[in-house]
Structure 1
Amino acid sequence: MNKNRILLRSAITFLLIWLVILISYEVTHVYGAAKKVELDLPKFGTRIHAGIDHLELKTIKFKKVIKLDGWAYINKHNAESQSTYIVLYSQNNQYIFDSQKVIRNDLPAALNNDNDRVENAGLTSLIDMTRVKPGSYQIGFYIMNNDSNEFTLSNMSINKSKVGIEFKENVNTKHNIKIQKANSKVQANLEEVSQNNGEIRFKGWIFIEGKSLEGAKVYIVLKNRDKEIIFDTEPQFRKDVTKYFGGVQDYDKSGFISNISKVDLGKGKYQIGVYIVNGDARGMYWSEESIGEE
């Protein structure tokens, strides 16, 4: 009899412990959260074409999570066979999370790409930020596609502190380079000059006629009578530019984007230029637009 009571109590105790564990799991577990993985990141590459369409900070079961929607693929690779990971990158810490594939039938037309099966490049990821140490992290993409592994960083960052979590578009830095006289003809267009929250965005495309864009560097040049200020840019894939110029030469890497702080400018009116360097070839494009006030 005593033995049966002991067995019954043990069974009840086991069930209570199991119930507590189950309740605790249900209360704290975020269903659909991305899995944190351990992978060795390759060196930064230039062949990933990617975009972040939506970033949202949410609270689910008392946890701060980030919902990221976007797309990414390796240029000239079939996106159907790829695995894509989201990287939170800083000098001290790197976190890699998996993502779920989302079929995006809008992408082939939007990216002007019917060759890479980019409708398979859509992705979504729900990142549990309780697993991430405080700090500033640049958002990156790591893609594994058969024998090709590529890693790149976006121009968006996540800042986690005791105060909270915020998103920020990275500001490009000033460069102390000397602008040399152009020796090559360029084709270029500055499509966007916009201002928001103390920052100025420049977006467009440029290439040196008859020269590959491999290894090219592009800078924004702001010039007036007193000084010249130079900023770096981030590359953007522009298959539409290649198509516009007949598709004979590859101008996919001709796009650029740059975000700068108004604080770096000070007072004055500036002419806007785009400077491209590729080996010994140099080209300059001056826009009719200007920024600032006299």
Structure 2
Amino acid sequence: MKQESPLTSTLAFLAARKTPLAIHGAILSAFFAFLLLWSDAVFDILSRMDDKASRQRISLPEETDGMEWSIDRLQVLPGAIEVDGWAFIAGQDARESRVYAVLKSASDTYVFDTFPRIRPDVSHTFSGAAENVDHSGFVTFIPRDAVPGTGLVLGVYVEGKVLSTLQYTDRVIRGQSKQQHVSLPQPDTGVLTYAVDRCSPGDGVTVLEGWGFIEGADARSSRTLVVLQSDADTYVFDTFWRRRLDIGRAYDGHGRNLQASGFVAFIPEGAVPPGD
């Protein structure tokens, strides 16, 4: 019986399997071509993870409509806060706009620059809404030591060639509410409209989320506190602002800027004695 050499057997196997191998070869070729074409873009995105955003000293306008935006990722990393998303002003060329990330605390507002990203998915979704919206993507890495530790509301500011627009999102970097020592007035249910949408204990804090405004007043000029009262004592805590477009629409005419009437409080475990 004639014995085939290993080389002859290998060639026979390749000949018998030429169609699948051709397909696999085409897939591998396409993959390597993708790496060659996009290696610069991928390297650019990854290299920016080492870059930190710089705080910008600019005057922000009042919050307005007219902006399309999305926050795809808000992540607190060991050394930075990562914000990834897209934003553009309707009717304007996105290539001529600059996007800034805004973090708002109870006492200050922090503005940071961002790095542009190409977003073909946005161009596909908003075809005709504005020019070059595939240039509306952005990512930024805000140094943790540049802002307070917690209790920050995220906003987006787009500076366009013709118009500039600021909008705050409903994304909050979780913090802890501090107990406040204030003199409370007598309860008056005639001028205060409010609701508590969520009360969730767990993970070392109790989360209280809702909205409230004084009839006829400007919600942006108001400060919302949460009051917990027992038979023995009364506890007052500060809150973090949250954007509530639904309240602005539902109570149109009852006050000004009611989209700013939302709040969330993170009451730490142990701040209220057990049994109260």
Q: Which amino acid aligns with 1:47?
A: E
Describe the shift of the 1:203–1:128 C-alpha distance in structure 2 as closer, same or farther (beyond 3 A): closer
Query: SS of the residue aligned with 1:217?
Result: coil
Q: Which amino acid aligns with 1:253?
A: A
Structure 1 counterpart of 2:83: 68
Structure 1 counterpart of 2:179: 174
For 2:87 and 2:44, locate their aligned partners in 1 and report how far apart those are by CA, in whole Å: 31
Q: How does 1:219-238 map to 2 (within 5 A)?
A: 219-238=225-244
Kept in 2: contact 1:42–1:151 (CA 8 A): no
1:39 pairs with 2:46: no
1:208 pairs with 2:222: no
Task: Considering fraction of residues, name the structure with more helix.
Answer: 2
Structure 2 counterpart of 1:127: 141
Structure 2 counterpart of 1:84: 99
1:242 pairs with 2:242: no
Q: Compute the displacement of 1:238 (Å).
A: 1.4
Report % sequence identity: 17
Q: Which amino acid aligns with 1:177?
A: V
For 1:35 and 1:235, locate their aligned partners in 2 and report how far apart those are by CA, in whole Å: 26
For 2:44 and 2:123, locate their aligned partners in 1 and report how far apart those are by CA, in whole Å: 32
Q: Compute the displacement of 1:208 (Å).
A: 2.0
Q: Compute the displacement of 1:266 (Å).
A: 1.9
Query: SS of the residue aligned with 2:219?
Result: coil
Kept in 2: contact 1:171–1:260 (CA 8 A): yes
1:255 pairs with 2:271: no
Structure 2 counterpart of 1:195: 201
Q: Compute the displacement of 1:189 (Å).
A: 1.1
For 1:67 and 1:247, locate their aligned partners in 2 and report how far apart those are by CA, in whole Å: 38
2:46 to 30, 33, 46: 30
Q: Which amino acid aligns with 2:262?
A: G
Q: Compute the displacement of 1:225 (Å).
A: 0.9
Q: Which has the larger radius of gyration?
A: 2
Q: Which amino acid aligns with 1:258?
A: A
Query: SS of the residue aligned with 1:174?
Result: coil
1:96 pairs with 2:112: yes
Kept in 2: contact 1:72–1:141 (CA 8 A): no
Describe the shift of the 1:219–1:95 C-alpha distance in structure 2 as closer, same or farther (beyond 3 A): closer
Q: Compute the displacement of 1:196 (Å).
A: 2.5
Q: Compute the displacement of 1:209 (Å).
A: 2.3
Q: TM-score normalized by structure 2?
A: 0.54
Show structure 2 runs of 5+ residues with no match: 1-41, 126-132
Question: Over aligned residues, Cα RMSD in angstroms?
Answer: 4.9
Q: Which amino acid aligns with 1:264?
A: A
Q: Which amino acid aligns with 2:203?
A: N
Q: Which amino acid aligns with 1:39?
A: Q
Q: Compute the displacement of 1:150 (Å).
A: 6.2
Kept in 1: contact 2:56–2:112 (CA 8 A): yes
Kept in 1: contact 2:114–2:140 (CA 8 A): no
Q: Compute the displacement of 1:245 (Å).
A: 3.1
